[in-house]
Structure 1
């Protein structure tokens, strides 16, 4: 055997061994692309689908990954959220609750093995660019975590001059600007360039590659072309808000709502719409940089063997619950984006709606990459089973902690908030997605509240959320029928859909300031009561068998406490708006129950009027002035007279009974007419007004 042949043989053997080793790690040790996004709330189209949002990259990636639509942060602030995710331990264990609680000062956190550190210990090349930790550890420890840490750590560029006056209450960098300089002024661009260059390199060992985007964290500067996607601030739909939303929130919740920027000041300054526009532009800018990175991965030899984990560290309020920041226990601050693509494991384009936590990322990656577990006991659970089958029904909860004794538990339906001082909040998010109606302390939900309270952590000990059981009320549906409960007295408004009774009215009771009422689930009783006007102490009432009150049938449940507004307009008009759904309240004199009409929504407050339903009393029905502009009411002085106003000269007025027999017809020459109903009898009558080619019909009841 010649020397030259021997060299060739040895080279071939070594090459074969090298190829075998690379094939072996490709099959057994997948790569990880770990992407963190700062301050991205659930406005993206994959979750809330905020009107007009432009996130084409996230939309496209959703077709390849599993999207967790009910994911929640362990803590609603940057530092504690990232510390929890990277250690796999909750804030109640590490004592890291706010940005000032440094990881370097937490013996528990420093004594744990950080997620990328575990990968490095087990043979991975670890690379980081951008914001992964909120604040760096010592250089020695960072060297134990990362093989490479190139890139730029900065929230810039800052606005060249302030748009929001410094006199307003606002955090640092709370400002915006359309950026006309080069894209390279943004760390998100240069950090994305760094990761793209690493994906184009040849790697001889599996890699854990982390990229941390700073946008849409403030300052909300972005290249001008992304602002141009949202051309007019006054045409952008603003987040839904409820006036006086905090009136049923305990004092500790109100304190959190007052943190960050002062919402009322920002709104009064005229910058509210522009800041929301800048936030949306920042999201679209980030989405574009994300697209560049994912394109580089898809065009690399690592595409088929790289797990992609994409998440936001927490959410952000934009005026919801009068809050303009993060750091609350409400849905807008805790809900976050989480997407995972695991080749050969995850379903493409699947969505999972069960509650999960960002604490589940650590054990999921340990499982998917077949790593040895870290020394600390991880709080979360692997999501491999959900990645394989997103239809699995898992009864579990997600916990968010804001202080040592303040937590929120999120199930698939309920949000339970405990402020640690005997107060809290409970929301049925299936029926009340905006968290406008606090059910805490209501007897009907006592069982739900008690069971959810058992899932709070006890010190550093966490309940096993995977063992959560279905709550007794989870099968209740949100129907259109309801009971009204008086907010201060707890008395109940009834109406019976079977006997034709509609609300009676005492005219003076329409006068007075705004009145709130609430909805409560209905036990099947039929007690009577009178509904008192808060401002005037007068009543709306119905007379049946000598008893004053209202009745409603048993299939009338919609949820426990819903605010209504009753606002006087004049002696015949008022506003009655269902503020949780924005839909309208109506009743029909033919016996229909009070019902929320899904086809008649025009906004949070819509004007209604009482149209009379009898001549001798003041029985009425609610009608929509968008459809009926004619006012009809009983004469308050003389029984047997039905007053009709709003008639135009020359209009044809005809009244028929339900069988079509005409009881009146004429062309009044005055805008107001008194009709003698003494010979009409009792029942339902149709009042038809014809004006040119337009005809309107109103039903009234004579009893």
Structure 2
């Protein structure tokens, strides 16, 4: 079968194999209203379709974060159908804390969930997640792929009526682990195969398990792991459901390793790749705590640059973005062809951004714009105007209270965020809150309309004028001209930060019963309740 990999309406194995081009073109027109708000055709409760894209920074067409050409037709058409927040930021700049903050509606500084080595259900058993709250109020909840963090223990059954685990493209045993240990570490339930002799594809030695890119030999495009999550979602959307539903689906790309089919690389010729603008002295005015975060993965960037593979790496990241965009397109197509189109809220977000050499950094886990700014789009039939941009600063703890209000559920008063419903109705309305991002304990960034303030755990600070210094090259923290506005940003830093909750090694986890037993206190937590 011939696959047109860059048609945003390419069929997946279970989605629209027989639809003709003119039907799909009609669907696209239907999805992008010319003006005004879409009318709801009935008074049925809203369904919720929550789409997460892993490690996706602002390098998408409608945000213009990449100075070259990036192909994201499906994210762009979703932005054209609703409200796209152009100053949206993650609540935490690493996967698990970011997803916990969004799905629990509470910041790391409130919960103590600061890193990937913590289970929210084991340590905070009384917390109610977003899908669980919807489930308790009459919704059928389903999920697939990377929604919470993908490793075992992060998606307790109490949140879901059904859930399909993340399917991985790389079940390679590079440390002679048992299948049980591999499952507990990565969540992969299938057969473990020996580490392949074709790794690393990018030729970088010594090999890093994640720092690789290229198409997996002899792997068909439809067999990549993210397609399994998309197929789950498209199947779900073709079925009748008696209850209103909450469906969450997450793609793993563009998370490392950047293994996607060759056709996606071909879209980005190396001679057309635009390298990020960087300065060798960029860290000179950054305090020691900030330098420590920046230089934590500097060796990876140095290895890539020394091998002359910087352009190749950026090409691979862009290819993975376009691959993820196509997965989003398949889900949107399924929704548009379903009976749920007129009463389904669509929310798309990313868990954090990504550095590709700026601040001498590779990866995530910093508090600069490169790492905090993310795509965030909301489409709500009858409420959101089409093709609108909201410039107000927002972060992801606001999603939970927003969906609660839009769906008419009882207010959940203990959440940290605020409903974005006023901005969905009027995207340029006044908004009194900044966007707040965190990494580890005591490190926080405050992003307002024009400024970025950073406070580290030791009290050291940074301050940037985003209008005149979009690369954040000049730290203004010591400039007396900005003392008053700096003080206005400081007030958003909490007086105290929650102590980190115990790590995974404090518990005995049974992945089959989905229970946690604290090794010292012997407290038993049932993840099904």
2:400 alignment partner, SS class? helix
Aligned partner of 1:245 in structure 2 is 282
- What is the deviation of 1:161? 1.5
1:76 matches 2:114:
no
Please give the residue correspondences for 1:80-229 in structure 2 after superposition, counting only pairs within 5 Å. 80-107=97-124, 110-135=125-150, 142-150=156-164, 152-154=166-168, 156=170, 160-164=198-202, 167=205, 172-179=209-216, 181-229=219-267
State whether residues 298 and 360 of structure 2, in contact with CA within 8 Å, keep that contact through their aligned partners in structure 1: no
State whether residues 167 and 226 of structure 2, in contact with CA within 8 Å, keep that contact through their aligned partners in structure 1: no
Tell me: CA distance 1:156–1:342, structure 2 relative to 1, closer, same or farther (3 Å).
farther
Aligned partner of 1:47 in structure 2 is 63
CA distance in 2, matches of 1:439, 1:373: 41
State whether residues 145 and 229 of structure 2, in contact with CA within 8 Å, keep that contact through their aligned partners in structure 1: yes
Q: Which has the higher contact order (CA 8 A, sep 6+)?
A: 2
- What is the deviation of 1:270? 1.5
CA distance in 2, matches of 1:292, 1:164: 29
Tell me: CA distance 1:322–1:460, structure 2 relative to 1, closer, same or farther (3 Å).
closer
1:183-237: CA deviations, max 9, x gaps? 2331111211111111011111111011110010011011111111012x24301
CA distance in 2, matches of 1:371, 1:136: 30
1:311 matches 2:328:
no
Please give the residue correspondences for 1:376-415 in structure 2 after superposition, counting only pairs within 5 Å. 377-415=414-452
Aligned partner of 1:436 in structure 2 is 473
CA distance in 2, matches of 1:211, 1:430: 35
CA distance in 1, matches of 2:414, 2:466: 32
Structure with the higher helix share, 1 or 2: 2
State whether residues 221 and 261 of structure 2, in contact with CA within 8 Å, keep that contact through their aligned partners in structure 1: yes
1:425 matches 2:462:
yes
Please give the residue correspondences for 1:629-640 in structure 2 after superposition, counting only pairs within 5 Å. none
Please give the residue correspondences for 1:461-500 in structure 2 after superposition, counting only pairs within 5 Å. none
- What is the deviation of 1:26? 5.9
1:300 matches 2:335:
no
1:336 alignment partner, SS class? coil
1:63 alignment partner, SS class? helix
CA distance in 1, matches of 2:474, 2:213: 33
Aligned partner of 2:314 in structure 1 is 276
Aligned partner of 1:535 in structure 2 is none
- What is the deviation of 1:102? 2.8
CA distance in 2, matches of 1:54, 1:224: 15
Please give the residue correspondences for 1:533-572 in structure 2 after superposition, counting only pairs within 5 Å. none
State the aligned residue count: 432
1:625-659: CA deviations, max 9, x gaps? xxxxxxxxxxxxxxxxxxxxxxxxxxxxxxxxxxx
Which structure has the larger Rg?
Answer: 1
1:500-553: CA deviations, max 9, x gaps? xxxxxxxxxxxxxxxxxxxxxxxxxxxxxxxxxxxxxxxxxxxxxxxxxxxxxx
CA distance in 1, matches of 2:494, 2:330: 41
Tell me: CA distance 1:457–1:136, structure 2 relative to 1, closer, same or farther (3 Å).
same
Q: Which runs of 5+ in 2 are unaligned?
A: 1-39, 173-195, 499-529
2:83 to 53, 57, 66: 66
State whether residues 43 and 49 of structure 1, in contact with CA within 8 Å, keep that contact through their aligned partners in structure 2: yes
- What is the deviation of 1:176? 0.2
State whether residues 37 and 312 of structure 1, in contact with CA within 8 Å, keep that contact through their aligned partners in structure 2: yes
2:163 alignment partner, SS class? coil
Aligned partner of 1:690 in structure 2 is none
CA distance in 2, matches of 1:229, 1:135: 29
Q: Which runs of 5+ in 1 are unaligned?
A: 1-23, 462-703
CA distance in 2, matches of 1:171, 1:27: 53
Aligned partner of 1:34 in structure 2 is 50
Aligned partner of 1:529 in structure 2 is none
Tell me: CA distance 1:157–1:273, structure 2 relative to 1, closer, same or farther (3 Å).
farther
Tell me: CA distance 1:406–1:84, structure 2 relative to 1, closer, same or farther (3 Å).
same
Aligned partner of 2:181 in structure 1 is none
Aligned partner of 2:402 in structure 1 is 364
Tell me: CA distance 1:240–1:131, structure 2 relative to 1, closer, same or farther (3 Å).
same
- What is the deviation of 1:153? 3.4
Aligned partner of 1:551 in structure 2 is none
1:393-427: CA deviations, max 9, x gaps? 32320111113221111000110001132321100
TM-score w.r.t. the length of structure 1 is 0.59
State whether residues 46 and 59 of structure 1, in contact with CA within 8 Å, keep that contact through their aligned partners in structure 2: yes
Q: Which runs of 4+ in 1 moved over 6 A?
A: none
State whether residues 155 and 214 of structure 1, in contact with CA within 8 Å, keep that contact through their aligned partners in structure 2: no
- What is the deviation of 1:101? 2.6
- What is the deviation of 1:120? 0.7
CA distance in 2, matches of 1:397, 1:172: 37
CA distance in 1, matches of 2:255, 2:171: 12
1:339 to 374, 377, 399: 377
Tell me: CA distance 1:399–1:441, structure 2 relative to 1, closer, same or farther (3 Å).
same
1:311 alignment partner, SS class? strand
Tell me: CA distance 1:137–1:229, structure 2 relative to 1, closer, same or farther (3 Å).
closer
Aligned partner of 1:321 in structure 2 is 359
State whether residues 366 and 373 of structure 1, in contact with CA within 8 Å, keep that contact through their aligned partners in structure 2: yes
State whether residues 44 and 343 of structure 2, in contact with CA within 8 Å, keep that contact through their aligned partners in structure 1: no
CA distance in 2, matches of 1:96, 1:25: 42
State whether residues 105 and 397 of structure 2, in contact with CA within 8 Å, keep that contact through their aligned partners in structure 1: yes
Tell me: CA distance 1:307–1:153, structure 2 relative to 1, closer, same or farther (3 Å).
same
